[in-house]
Structure 1
């Protein structure tokens, strides 16, 4: 099997492997190691301030001479709904009581911000090379400003219709995110989860539907997944869950323990943040979800969970924590991120050679 160079040439990288930007699970340390190995390092920016983002980009550039992908959310900020948010607090009240938390205390503010003029100004300043979006795209003028700053623009599609929509609006490559993927679904043209399909049904359809390079994401944790994605028409892969056991990831102990135990139970849930996302099943997902009509709009659901998360984590529990992981999490191996990147690609090359020799 020949490996297409469209993606590596587009990003100016050696290997067609992109680190998935995993907000809350990583920082610049993981991005640096993937870039050192020849992949595309990514930084999740939606939970960072502009100054924090500048600092992380500076740290990346001090460590490695390579492009970096800055990832942003493109959601519409929620309209407050007092009745729904009150109902959510009422659903959580028994847990507050069990942990001795005042149920009438102010709800912490969630810090997941959409891409805006301030973020765009940072992009124009630091010129990362690649900018990616989740939940669609920001307004066209912001996309054009990113391109004018010399950035390649990519975004996640969970359906063929979304892929076409993104290409029509100027995306230089499409991330085809299958239902197996850990973390938030990039779904944006509908909120109907019945439209969501698996990676290896989605990738060939997207590859046939668009002219730009396609990046497969979801359930790709070893060489077999990489080779399968390439065979189905992808130009490269985006990998997240496979990197979570690495020493450079910032996941909390309960999350790391589930990965170490090769836990297979994941579900798509909206109770952690208000938008559907796949993660290891925890207590609140099991008892109130995984999909609940009570959950407020993204990202408000997470605010009321924050005090419970803090209390439970202090006791070594992930009962109220977002522990995102894809369906192939049990295949993840614990090794440094740079070594893993090189290993994944060398194993994929060896597998392709064996297949060609048959």
Structure 2
């Protein structure tokens, strides 16, 4: 259109872009999770919505997609929605984009203001960075919730579609529930709910989680990221073997006794754990029959009933005082000597508070034991 006519009629038209010029495409996205009631049971569902608009905010593409399973992490769902949007834009050949984010934590992570710490979010953010390389210009803006209302509606529609489908299927069979660890669908009867927080996982994953923690000498807690609810023995009876159940009972007892009050039976075939108050104090005979060396340190094991010295931590030294025993037996037990030698060879250190041996596999020398005691390894 000639400039003369443009001056007269330009208000009725939109000036086309100059040759080779490309204006950024606007991207609105939203990922949401929701607890929905299906057949009298609460089910967590997730969905994502994407609205891609031109520079005038006219919608050119809408995406509404359910997620196969809830991930129990708001930011992870939001990032999945962003990945879906970027994938679509790469397929369309778009090179310049303006991304609008209404979730502050995600905005700060995308712009580099905050460091991502959650592992599942880190992996997703790495995918975002790879997709961003396909664009020549990426502008990120923090937007109010109202600006992403269409994307929110699309995400909600995705959840509604799952809800409708599950209700239709509920007349024929039970609704399947996805385990957030293995992502496999399971019958509700095969899902375990943690007492106190009600996070749900399949029995298989729970058994593996608890077994690994117990074999590492730790008391297991809920595997949900950030949840610190401890698992109790009674609820774990549903999936643990008798052997693992016995180990867990032992770990619970170890955790309940302060470090300074723990005593182990010195007899190798027993080694039962007890507290200072639990150790049996034998009834003393009349003073005329008590030996001169004293029996103030004499205790009996609560399991094998063996007598031992609570001061020397050895089987009871009959007719010998503690000072005489230590003078005649300056060397420590053979097993303890071997452990100390191996520790020196492997450069292990023993925590002065909990007495556990610690090996440095990687990282700095600053160590924190399970009882929050801080020390340097070397």
What's the TM-score, normalizing by structure 1? 0.20
Greater relative contact order (CA < 8 Å, ≥ 6 in sequence): 1
Structure whose residues are more often strand by fraction? 2
Structure whose residues are more often helix by fraction? 1
